[in-house]
Amino acid sequence: MVAPSASDSSRPTDLSAVDIAQVLANNLLAFDKRESEFSGWIHVAELPSVALGAQDTALASMTHTEELQRGMSKKQRKRVRKERKRLVFHRRFCRLRELMCTFYADDAPTCEPLDRLVIISVARVHDRNKAFQVVDYEDRRLEMYTTLGADFEEWYGAFASAVRTTQVAKSSSSRVPDEMQHESQHRARRQRRRSGRKATTVAPTEEDGEDEQEEEDDRTRTAWLYLESPWWRLHQPRRRYYFVLSRATLGCFSVNKEGQLAEKVVTVAKFTCDLEHKSLIALHVTCATGKTMRLTCSSNATTKRTMRDWVDHLQDALEAPAS
């Protein structure tokens, strides 16, 4: 059983530590070198309260053709369809823990939880039967071939998009394990400095400091924030979106009911943020076009730490051209 890296960092963790060769050797995925895409068979998850046995799971994953080939009676086929209805599908917004554990649903899910929330979109591939294409917000694609002819609305959850397609790291990043370990140590040192704790490691050299600053500037920040809706939406005064901050560029991502990805990217010209409010943190952003946005989130230790990191990052990004 391969397990993703459980590296604890403020940056959404990629899945480079997964042994792709082992996954391909197990025939879980096939890699198309020409298109640089993964494709393969996937497994559905089960409701914990009504977990199926091994025999029932095997029956529930059978196709109609396999049912006829095995000469199953009408009563047996009815039982299989009943078991299929007991299967559950994940929603569009999934944690990597759910995605990875579902991907390895055939075995005991021993993968380490990452608790990284990713946003993904699913579209039916009309020219191929029972095929769906998963797209995350960085335009990584994975084509899934399902064994069940389920309705699209049941499959939009995009469970088991797995492995490379769910990573929320920058496309240009190509790390070897030693470099990943080196970077995780830098992130740990920075985190201790930000939280005011005394660092237990040796003070970094000037060269390390330059590398840290370069990586810190290039790192992507992500958060779920509330955006106030227009005045005519009386019954929904605010909506929750997935925001990605990279330097002075702020991206807003959402997925509608049909699984279509909506993307809006703006350039931040100036901002103000109130971190001292007891119940609500408000970030007022003025875009380069003059439009203003008010982003809010509940006030607690985690959100304060996240928004303080956002404020420091925005200040550095806006002051950089003038220096």
- Is residue 35 located within the same domain as residue 141? yes
Q: For residue 75, is it within any domain?
A: no
pLDDT for position 188:
59
Structural domain boundaries, residue 138: 20-44+89-165
- Is residue 132 located within the same domain as residue 192? no
Q: For residue 247, is it within any domain?
A: yes
- Is residue 139 located within the same domain as residue 184? no
- From first to last of its 323 residues, what are the pLDDT tens digits of the chain? 233 322 222 222 333 344 555 656 665 555 666 655 555 443 333 323 233 333 444 444 444 555 555 666 777 766 655 554 433 333 334 444 444 444 444 444 444 444 444 444 545 555 555 455 545 444 444 444 443 333 333 333 333 333 333 333 333 333 334 444 455 555 555 655 555 544 344 444 555 555 555 555 556 777 888 888 777 766 777 877 778 787 788 887 765 555 555 667 888 999 999 888 878 899 999 988 888 889 998 888 888 888 888 898 888 888 875 54
Q: For residue 63, is it within any domain?
A: no
- Is residue 226 located within the same domain as residue 101? no
Number of H helices, E strands in the chain: 10, 14
Q: For residue 73, is it within any domain?
A: no
- Is residue 114 located within the same domain as residue 247? no
* 3-state DSSP assignment of residue 100: helix
- Is residue 156 located within the same domain as residue 122? yes
Rounded Cα distance between 103 and 90, Å, is 12
- Is residue 152 located within the same domain as residue 283? no
- Is residue 190 located within the same domain as residue 320? no
- Is residue 273 located within the same domain as residue 231? yes
- Is residue 270 located within the same domain as residue 308? yes
Question: Looking at residue 298, which CATH number applies to its domain?
Answer: 2.30.29.30
Q: For residue 178, is it within any domain?
A: yes
pLDDT for position 32:
62
Identify the helix (H) or strand (E) that includes residue 211: helix 206-218
Q: For residue 232, is it within any domain?
A: yes
pLDDT for position 271:
92
How many domains does the structure of the chain reveal? 3
Q: For residue 309, is it within any domain?
A: yes
- Is residue 153 located within the same domain as residue 34? yes
pLDDT for position 114:
41
In the Cβ-directed half-sphere of 67, how many Cα atoms lie within 13 Å? 17
- Is residue 189 located within the same domain as residue 301? no
Q: Strand ranges (DSSP E) for the chain? A: 30-32, 37-41, 45-46, 87-88, 93-95, 117-124, 131-136, 141-145, 221-228, 238-246, 249-255, 261-274, 280-287, 292-298
